[in-house]
Amino acid sequence: MTERRYLTRNDKITRGENNLVSLAAGGESYRDLEPRRLFPVSRELEYITLLDEDGREVAVIRSINDIDEESQEVIKSSLDSYYLVPRITSVINIVQKYGNIHFDVNTDRGPLSFDVLRGNDIKLFRGGAVRVRDSNDNRYVIPDYRKLDKKSRAKLTIYL
Amino acid sequence: MNTIQDLKYLPKNKELSLKVGEFAKRLLDGGAELLFAIVGDMSLAGQYADTALIFTESSVFYVDADEGCEREYPLSSLSDVRAKRMYGNATLSAVMPDGRREIFFRYTYSTAALCDAAALFINHLNDGAPLNDELAVVLVTIEHAISVCPKCGRKLLHPGAECIRCRSKIKVVKRFAKYITPQLKTIIVCIILSLLTTALSLVPPTVTGFIVDVVFSDGEGKSSVTVLNLIADAVGPDAGRLLFTMIACLLFTYILQYGFGIVRAYLMRTVGDKAVSALRNDIYERAQYLPMRFYDKTSTGAVISRIASDSSTLQQFMLRITQEAVVHAFSLVGIVVIMLTLNPTLSLLSLIPVILIVVVTRIFSKKIRPYYSRIWRRWSAVFSALSDTIPCIKVVKSFAGEARSTQKFKEKNAEWLDMDLKIGKLATAFPQIISFLVTTGSLIIWGIGGSRVISGADGYTAGLIVSFISYASMFYNPVTFFANLSDSFQSALASTERILDILEAEPEGQPDSAVKLDNIDGKIEFLHVGFSFDRTKKVLDDVSFTIEPGEVVGIVGTTGSGKSTLVNLLMRFYDGYTGEILVDGHNIKNMDLSDFRSRIGYVQQEPMMFSDTIFNNIAYGVPEATVEDVMHAADVANAHGFIARQPDAYDTVLGERGVGVSGGEKQRLSIARAVLKSPSILIFDEATAAVDSETEHLIQEAIDRLIEGKTTIMIAHRLSTLKRANRIIVVDNGKIIENGTPEELMAMKGKYYKLVEIQTMRADADRMSREERL
């Protein structure tokens, strides 16, 4: 088993095509790497793995702050485009009828309606984060539901 | 091919927006022949947007109506189109004429299945496939993608299902009425009895009023009730005699009232029990035929609780509606009429607390309802902490996790306690407040009515006040019942939802004209089969292969490569795949499901045994099997020996305390089960993965006997299991990467070669270390 390579400030990540990145590290260079989160739910900017075209891990970024600022930007924008988890900014309405929970919400990517099939798909995490999975397996997040406006909170808390 | 003149007939997954529609109209007017459209939901930059891909025979048009962006890509300019699923979104990309890969469409998972089909559509057309064939595949996919109610846009349980929100509530009631109607006669008797008891319950207050007014005043006064006056005249002026006559009247009334009550309660119970057991039977039967996909989504625990407890909740509600509602409505009307005839002023006065009570109840139930579901959720968290750790107690102990799991349980329990205490204040205060209001109501009658009696107002007597207070207190019962009815309506609605989810779920697909084959030779064909469990990852991708009758085929691949899914699809555990699977040239989707499955012997990695006798477990698929059939099957499966050694032999009940059957023994029982079916096709899914090499040998022997002349598919990790295979299919990442005889694959030096190398090296190392020890 080879030792896992953790990137440092000496390594350089540059933008490639179609959200892929290139890496220059330890005298070697790699193209077409895909940054992916190892903890997509619990750690947004820690433990980011870089996979090559065959899905093999080339290196891991332990924390985004371990690499230089320019590389950080490249990684962040690539991750932003791969992981599309809209932030729910306010709740217009939530109604439950016959099993489906219908959401009308505003997100950071525009207003949206979607259906959640089960109460289990709305999960409250410690610290107030709420994650929602809709009937098409799209994900949504509320970073801290306690910070929503009063009306949104009242509508949402019933389902937490 | 029919050209589409009207956008209405353009196949699409969703209605086109106004702007996209205008664009499509322009294309039509320009003479383009439109094939189909994919309505998307996301701009290339990842914002929600009004987008679409519109396909013609030669081009695909991309529209982003919000950005006002329109692009045309000639199909021939898009090579190697790929649909890539990311996280919450996906992209279609292609290699453009300049040689660079470009993303030309971005969408959420809502349209992912359709875009997968579109990618194949373009690639296949560019490879020269006939347009009509490819279009047909896309059109089917579009049909499947329409899974929202066309009326209200609500997500349906499955494509084409009736939207429960839009369908008439009467139909829903009718659905459940069928459990009640068989008992209609009994119910009518119950209702008549209810009316009688209610009527009887209205008698005593009048009689007590009469006792106070007439009997206690030495027969001076007269009652407003003629019957009582007649009785008084008949008995004569002796107050003592009159009192005992009245008491006798009351006793008689009570005997009748409670006697009818007993009969009614018994009948009601019978009706309820019969209805709920019929409903439970239906749900259970339905649950048996639900597809595996349903069970993947819904935990088995949830299904069990629906059958067990939701049906009871619903039963209670149905009884409340048919029985108590009638009783309470009747007594409400009766009391109001009597009170009004006795004294309209006092009647209006006693309405004051009633209004208060209704208001308080409304406020309360509105406040408390959200809490109930939150408590329920906290409680299920406690419950799952419980059901997670107790069955895994061995793991907990072996990792010294007792303290940690206790801590976790305490946390969940504390959350529940917290929520329950919050609701506790409200819930305990409520009935007290209601009782307080009721009692206060009687004070008003005492106060106003009493002072009228003292001042000798016309029509006011002590007896009137006494009977009025009795009636008024009887009045609150039905009122609170109706005020609380919405509560039990809520919980019944929730139960109805969950029950309907099962009753309405699409059972495993069965075409109207199902094919039953007399004889299956065992030719199996997979044609361009693709499958995805949850739309996030494709488990199988364009898989094609043919297995000839009598072939023994080993399927090899790493964990998660998709090899078990091949079998799941062949067994028709999942129907939502693309492409076709044929057995003896017939599409398996058109075959009679139970007949088809009965022709396949399926031995799983972890054999499941019912808590029943060994005999019944072997004979599970063929209940009419004779003793000797079963013993023969056990012989073939190398199981007879160990069965005979059990003290209860074939009568041994598995799962009972003290019955030790090892994993390898269970595996042989499940092979015997398969032998008894005398199937035409055999499937072994890692049948020897969980046993030691000695047992493996016994099982292998059993398998060798069983597969003689039958088409056999063996999924295996251990390549030694595949000695008998005359063909090997190597699956990797949902695709078939190698397919041929073991010799051919060895010569190819591909994945199979590598796997063999690794396993022989390991076996060699084992042997060497053993020799060294010796």
Among B48, B374, B534, beta carbon nearest to A160 = B374
With 80 as the cut, is the pLDDT of residue A75 above it? Answer: yes
Average pLDDT over residues B267-286: 84
**Residue A7 counted as domain residue:** no
CB contacts of A85 in chain B (<8 Å) are 87-88
Same domain for A92 and A70, yes or no, is no
Same domain for A16 and A78, yes or no, is yes
pLDDT in tens, B308-329: 777 777 777 777 676 778 778 8
- pLDDT at residue B9, as a whole number: 79
Mark which of A31, A66, A82 sits at the end of a domain.
Answer: A82
Residue B543 forms beta bridges with which residues? B529
Average pLDDT over residues B233-252: 84
Closest-CA residue of chain B to A112 = B48
Average pLDDT over residues B681-692: 76
Share of chain B above pLDDT 90, in %: 6
Q: Of how many residues is chain A composed?
A: 160
Say yes or no for a CB contact (<8 Å) between A98 and B153: no
**Mutation for testing the A interface, residue in B13, B41, B44, B86 having most A CBs under 10 Å:** B86
Average pLDDT over residues A98-102: 71
Q: CA B709, CA B521: separation in Å to the nearest integer?
A: 10
Same domain for A71 and A93, yes or no, is no
- pLDDT at residue B6, as a whole number: 74
CA distance B766 to chain A (A): 20
Q: Which domain holds residue A20?
A: 12-82
The more confident residue out of B509 and B207 is: B207
> Per residue, what are the HEC states of B347-367?
HHHHHHHHHHHHHHHHHHHHH
The more confident residue out of B167 and A133 is: A133
**Residue A4 counted as domain residue:** no
With 50 as the cut, is the pLDDT of residue B2 above it? Answer: no
Same domain for A75 and A123, yes or no, is no
- Total number of domains constituting chain A: 2
Rounded to the nearest angstrom, the gap between the alpha carbon of residue A91 and the centroid of all alpha carbons in its chain is: 20
**Residue A42 counted as domain residue:** yes
Average pLDDT over residues B28-45: 88
Where are the extended beta strands (E) located within B65-209?
69-74, 79-85, 90-95, 101-107
**Closest to B194 measured CA to CA, from B260, B118, B100, B293:** B260
Same domain for A78 and A33, yes or no, is yes
CB contacts of B100 in chain A (<8 Å) are 17
Say yes or no for a CB contact (<8 Å) between A160 and B297: no
Say yes or no for a CB contact (<8 Å) between A109 and B87: no
Among B89, B497, B534, beta carbon nearest to A99 = B497
Q: Which residues of B touch A (CB under 8 A)?
A: 42, 46-49, 86-89, 93, 100-103, 108-110, 112, 153-155, 157, 164-165, 297, 370, 373-374, 377, 497-498, 500-501, 534-536
- pLDDT at residue B1, as a whole number: 43
- pLDDT at residue A50, as a whole number: 92
How crowded is residue B243: how many other Cβ atoms within 10 Å of its Cβ? 15
User: Under DSSP, is residue B32 helix (H, G, I), strand (E, B) or coil?
Assistant: coil
CA distance B520 to chain A (A): 39
Confidence of residue A91 (pLDDT cuts 50, 70, 90): very high
pLDDT in tens, B395-433: 888 888 888 889 988 988 998 898 888 877 777 887 788
CA distance A50 to chain B (A): 15
Mark which of A82, A111, A143 sits at the end of a domain.
Answer: A82
Same domain for A77 and A92, yes or no, is no
CB contacts of A86 in chain B (<8 Å) are 48, 88
**Residue A3 counted as domain residue:** no
ipTM exceeding the 0.90 mark:
no
Average pLDDT over residues B698-702: 78
Q: CA A117, CA B558: separation in Å to the nearest integer?
A: 33
Average pLDDT over residues A76-105: 85
Domains, chain B, in order of start with CATH, read: 7-145 (2.30.29.30), 167-328 (1.20.1560.10)
**Residue A2 counted as domain residue:** no
Query: Phi and psi at residue B455, in whole multiples of 5°?
Result: -75, 0
How crowded is residue B277: how many other Cβ atoms within 10 Å of its Cβ? 13
Same domain for A98 and A65, yes or no, is no
The predicted model scores a pTM of 0.62
Q: CA B337, CA B753: separation in Å to the nearest integer?
A: 93
CB contacts of B414 in chain A (<8 Å) are none
Average pLDDT, chain B: 80
Q: Decide: B683 and B596 in contact? Cβ < 8 Å.
A: no
Say yes or no for a CB contact (<8 Å) between A137 and B536: yes
- pLDDT at residue B251, as a whole number: 93
Say yes or no for a CB contact (<8 Å) between A158 and B100: no
Q: Decide: B526 and B579 in contact? Cβ < 8 Å.
A: yes
Q: Which helix (H) or strand (E) holds B422?
A: helix B402-444
Same domain for A108 and A129, yes or no, is yes
pLDDT in tens, B655-665: 755 566 777 88
Scan for tokens 């009818």, then name that residue.
B260
**Closest to B186 measured CA to CA, from B282, B277, B322:** B322
pLDDT in tens, B149-182: 666 666 665 555 556 556 566 766 777 777 878 8
Share of chain B above pLDDT 70, in %: 87
A18 close contact with B: CB closer than 8 A: yes
By CB neighbour count within 10 A (0-12 exposed, 13-18 middle, 19+ buried), where does B3 fall? exposed
Say yes or no for a CB contact (<8 Å) between A138 and B110: yes
Say yes or no for a CB contact (<8 Å) between B48 and A100: no
Same domain for A153 and A124, yes or no, is yes
Same domain for A63 and A116, yes or no, is no
Mark which of A36, A67, A82 sits at the end of a domain.
Answer: A82
CB contacts of B108 in chain A (<8 Å) are 84, 136, 138
- pLDDT at residue A65, as a whole number: 92
Say yes or no for a CB contact (<8 Å) between B48 and A102: no
With 60 as the cut, is the pLDDT of residue B232 above it? Answer: yes
pLDDT in tens, B620-675: 888 888 888 888 888 888 888 888 887 778 888 887 555 667 778 888 888 888 88
Q: Which of residues 66-105 of A touch B (CB under 8 A)?
A: 80-86, 97-100, 102
Closest-CA residue of chain B to A109 = B47
**Mutation for testing the B interface, residue in A48, A137, A140 having most B CBs under 10 Å:** A137
With 90 as the cut, is the pLDDT of residue B388 above it? Answer: no
CA distance A42 to chain B (A): 15
B491-521 as b/e, with b when 16 or more CB fall inside 10 Å?
A: bbbbbbbbbbbbbbbbebeeeeeeeebeebe
**Residue A126 counted as domain residue:** yes
Query: How many CA atoms, within 13 angstroms, populate the side-chain half-sphere of residue B346?
Result: 33
Same domain for A74 and A95, yes or no, is no
Average pLDDT over residues A62-71: 91
**Residue A67 counted as domain residue:** yes
CA distance A12 to chain B (A): 24
pLDDT in tens, B4-27: 667 777 888 888 888 888 888 888
Among A99, A136, A158, beta carbon nearest to B109 = A136
pLDDT in tens, B523-565: 888 888 888 775 556 788 888 888 888 888 888 887 778 888 8
pLDDT in tens, B72-119: 999 999 989 998 888 888 999 999 999 888 899 999 988 888 888 889
Same domain for A44 and A100, yes or no, is no
CA distance A69 to chain B (A): 23
- pLDDT at residue B361, as a whole number: 76
